[in-house]
Structures are given as structure tokens and as C-alpha cells.
Amino acid sequence: MSAGADTLQQSTVAPEAPPSTKISCTRGLTAWLLRNDVSIAFSSYQSGRLYLVGVDRQERISFHERFFARSMGLWADPQRILLATLFQIWRLENVLGPDQRTNEGADRHYVPRIAHTTGDLDIHDVTVMADGRIVFVNTSYSCLALLSPTHSFRVFWKPPFISKLAPEDRCHLNGLAMRDGAPAYVTAVCQSDVVNGWRDRRANGGCVIDVHSNAIVSESLSMPHSPRLHQGRLWVLNAGTGYLGTIDLTNGEFTPLTFCPGFLRGLAFHNGYALVGLSLPRDGSFSGLALDLELNKRNAEPWCGIQIVELATGNIVEWIKLEGEVTELFDVQVIPGVRHATATGILSDDIQRLVTFETVTTPSSESV
């Protein structure tokens, strides 16, 4: 794989003055995306951006961004994107047919169609269950939640050590792993049951909890994030240490695979690779962790970006790096079968002018 770097080409400039940020990537990223027939989506709550990365018709990297305030939890398939934001969960729908392309040549164009208003719940991971219901990590209230047609949310599950549902971010519940379309495991920074109690236990209070049994299956982690079940193994980002690894569900032991130089959040898998999101350690919440010592030991500076890890070797084979005003990312998703994706933003005039419709067949007089 190539270790060189190229500057990404922006296919579309967001209408709302984006932060001054330099974005670079490995020369091999274009070939990796084409070979695996995917696009990449990732979010940054700091900049309030949804980013879409693909390959345009000139076979150049296409970088596309749109503003959504405090963009966090992200779920995507070829036809739909779900995005948790400051006080809403947005549903963006692809409006292009199989043979349609935008003027830019994009084969998917996602338009905001539904925004479910939840209020500020500090929503982290968001995903879809087998029955189609959206389930999300309600970090503020320390629980898993569903959308409600009437209220801000409907409680789905809470950790056994949480005695009261209150907007106090007691344990910093943050990540959700699904199995067969149902919640299976969650991550929390600690088992605190007092307001903001997790902040005092960031270094080694992290845990993984079995949603079905309420059992604590792993402890002594450092700010774990983004649990994901993949090929029968539970993967976790042990963010306070900078390591991607797996949890042994029999003894709770964390086995590291790869060190990524940053505070880790956002994890997706595709075709033998893991895509990991990295942020610069923030003063306060992210400082004083083992990650600082590991970076010093390696004489390394922290990254903000996406690194692609080959699972068979643990090697980082491709990457995207952001430098400048954007220093923190939250989530990353792979969109299979999509080469070049774009989106309509909520601040652009395009959202007023872009109108699409479905044709309804009128019943014939004979069938009336």
C-alpha cells in the first residue's frame, strides 16, 4: 500500500463558510475505495459537519461536507443516513434512481427528509434495529432510548447501577454494539451513579455491559467507545490508551491489535478492514490518560482523521488526516456499493429548490 499523501479535492463547497482545515490522504485511498466499492461517511460535532468521501468520475478523491449542528452518532446504508445532532435525529434519503447521477456525477444524493426533535440528549451512537426502530445512546440520561411520537424519547434500557433517569450524564454511556438487529453490548466510562461522576474515573473505570443480562463483561478500560460485534468478536476502542482491540467475553480481557495516535471514537468494518476515527486529545476530558504517555514514548503527535487498519496484520494501510480548526471527530461509517455521495444541507438554498416526487398510478375506471 502506498504511504504517500495527496490533498483531497472538494467536490462541493458548503455554503456556510467551513472552518479552515487542510485535509490530506494516502495516495492509495482512491484505489482502496474503488477496490472495495465503498464510500466513507464521518461526523464532527466540533465543526458540526457530515463528511462524505468517495471517488468522482475523474477518479479523484471527492470530499463533500454539509453542516448539521453538533454532528455525532451516524448510521448509513446505500439509501439512507441517520445523523444525531444537537437536539434532533435527522434522516437523509437518497433521491437518485439506480441509473441517475447528479451534475457532479454522484451516484447517491442524500436529502434531509425527517428530523425527529428530541431536545439536547447528548446522543452518541445511533442505529436501526431489525424491526426498523431507531435506537440510540442517550448519554445525558444514561440509557438506551427509542424515538417517541409524543415525547423526547422512550426508555429502552438502562444500566443496573443507574438508580434514576436524570439529565446528569452519570456514567457517560456512549457506545452500542448490535447483534442480529438488537442491542447487545454498551460501553460506559465508569459505573458512577452521581452527576458527571465519570470525569473522575476516566483512566481505568471504563466498562462493557451486556444489555440482556445486565452483567459487566469487562472492566478497567480507559474511556471505551464504539463497541462493535464483527465476525463473532467484540471490538472496542480503548480510547484513553489509543488502542483498537477485542474483548474476551469469557474473562473480560482487552487484547490490543493496533495503536492509533489519537483519542479514538468511531469504528466501522468492511472486507477485512477496520476504519477508526481519531481526535486530538482535548484539555480536560482527554488529558492525563495513558494515551499521553504512549504518544510520548513513540515520539508522536496526535492525529485528527480516519485510519484504515488491515485486521489480518494490524497495519494501518490508508488514512485521511484533518489539520487546522477541526480537531475532533465522532463517528465513521462505510457505505457499501456507493462510489460518490453528496448531500443537501439544511443551511443551503438548495433545500428549498430541490423538489423530487413519486408518481402514483391512478386506478383505472374498471377497478373503481
DSSP 252-285: --EEEEEE-SSEEEEEEEETTEEEEEEEPPPTTT
- The C-alpha cell of 15 is what? 455554503
Tens of pLDDT, residues 192-226: 999 999 998 999 999 999 999 999 999 999 999 99
Q: What is the DSSP letter of 365?
A: G
Tell me what percent of the residues of the chain surpass a pLDDT of 90.
88
Banded model confidence at residue 13, pLDDT cuts 50, 70, 90:
very low
What is the average pLDDT value for the chain, to the nearest integer? Answer: 92
| Cell numbers linked to 13 | 463547497
pLDDT at 319 over 50: yes
Confidence at 186, pLDDT banded by 50, 70, 90: very high
Q: Quick one: average pLDDT of 28-33?
A: 98
- Go through the domains of the chain in sequence order and give each one's CATH number: 5-356 (2.120.10.30)
Mean pLDDT of all residues in 297-309: 97
Q: What is the mean pLDDT of residues 324-342?
A: 97
Question: Could you say which DSSP state residue 292 is in?
Answer: H
Half-sphere exposure of 171 (CA within 13 A, CB side): 31
Which one, of 355, 330, 281, 267, lies nearest residue 69 by Cα?
330
Nearby residues of 341 by Cβ (< 8 Å), 6 or more positions away: 39, 41, 52, 54, 64, 106, 107, 108, 109, 110, 335
CA dist., res. 43 & res. 74, Å (int): 7
- Is 50 exceeded by the pLDDT of residue 31? yes
Read off the amino acid at residue 359. Answer: T
Tell me the average pLDDT across 140-165: 98
Rounded to whole angstroms, how far apart are CA atoms 279 and 277?
Answer: 7
Instruction: Classify the C-alpha dihedral 14-12-63-87 as positive or negative.
Output: positive
d(CA 96, CA 222): 43
pLDDT of residue 11: 37
- C-alpha cell of 30? 482512491
Q: Write the pLDDT tens digit of every residue in 128-148.
A: 999 999 999 999 999 999 999
CA distance 215 to 236: 17
Determine the Cα–Cα distance for residues 169 and 157; give it in Å rounded to an integer: 15
User: Looking at residue 70, what DSSP letter applies?
Assistant: T
User: Confidence band (pLDDT; 50, 70, 90) for 70?
Assistant: very high
Q: For the segment 237-270, what is each residue's pLDDT rounded down to a tens digit?
A: 999 999 999 999 999 999 999 999 999 999 999 9
For residues 325-337, average pLDDT? 97
Instruction: Residue 342: name the closest of 68, 92, 30 by CA.
Output: 92
Helix (H) or strand (E) holding 92: strand 88-94
Q: Is residue 9's pLDDT more than 50? A: no
Strands 316-324 and 305-310: antiparallel
Of the two residues 5 and 178, the one the predictor is more confident about is 178
User: d(Cα 216, Cα 252) in Å, to the nearest integer?
Assistant: 9
Cα angle at 247 between 245 and 251, to 5 degrees?
A: 145
Cell numbers found for residue 258: 493496533
Q: Which residues contact 89 (CB under 8 A, 6 or more apart)?
A: 82, 83, 115, 116, 118, 123, 126, 134, 136, 147
Q: Is the pLDDT reported for residue 92 higher than 50?
A: yes
